[in-house]
Structure 1
Amino acid sequence: MRTASWPAAGRLLAREAGFPGLAVVAIVASADVRMPMALPGHRALLWLTMLVATALVTRARCAVLAAGAGATVATAALQLAPGPWASARYLAAAVLLCGVSAVGRRWLIAVAAAPIHLVALAGAAVDADKVVFHLGFGFAAGVLGWAVAAAVDRAARPMDGRSGSAGRGPTAKR
């Protein structure tokens, strides 16, 4: 039986435990910071981005559930959410992201972030403007989550003895 080398095991641990932990910290920190943009749904640019990136970076589907549950419990315990059930949006979005990730298409996770962001409207007075803004910011969060996951994947790739990023990229000869 062959075991993973320490550097590979460290990368795996950082991916499967460290990144979801970082997502929880970022979501809880963003819940405490007020960002006065006066646009409905703009806060998803951080919390939904982190959940989408967690769903794309980790191999275990339950990691995004753990991040959503951790953020829900932490924001509820610290009373950072605007209402008693407002912190449940993180867990609800994580459950939906986990369901979408079961399909196996990574790009679908990023696109599905737009309608998934509508969970933030649960229990609120809803008009067409709010729905449109939530869909727009949800899609932007999905694209940002995809970009974060791509950067993490690129950084985690071994360099194979090359220095820098020479020979990589879309125009490199293979």
Structure 2
Amino acid sequence: VYLSFGFHPSRADSHSGHPRLFEQLRHFLAHERAVAVGEVGLDYRPSCSERTKERQRLIFRGMLRVALELRKPVVVHCRGFGRPEAEHDCLEIMKDELPQLFPIHRHCFTGSLADLNAWRLLFPNTVFGFTAASSSYPQLAAHLPLAHTVLETDAPYM
């Protein structure tokens, strides 16, 4: 069994992004079975305030910096609930913080074909996770090499 450690964006209001959070993350990631940073990213629920979005972006940047420092792949959560803002912000932050060939697992991808192509263009090593709950999975997966596709359950949520 291997582990990933991160900070889910839906918990951003419970934390200010204090440096201690990132120190704790480094401590957990030092474990020999810790192989990735994640789940980290953005979750722009309809009820999400601008203050919460800003806090999510701040914490996401910090998590990406830790991943880069420790050379651990990133498991990225990015949900916009039908609006493009989260995908856009996520990619912009990652362009600022990570090299183009950094290993990324785009967790529970539910975006459009245009989103998928944007990710592939900016981060060609991205592996996309799909769940059976995604009605667009067969069409999107057809545009990816098998080596860039993983199936996920994300149980009990999807």
Instruction: Name the structure with the higher strand share.
Output: 2
TM-score norm. by structure 1 comes to: 0.31
Bigger radius of gyration: 1
Give the TM-score, by structure 2 length. 0.33
Report 1 or 2 for greater relative contact order, CA contacts < 8 Å, sequence distance ≥ 6. 1
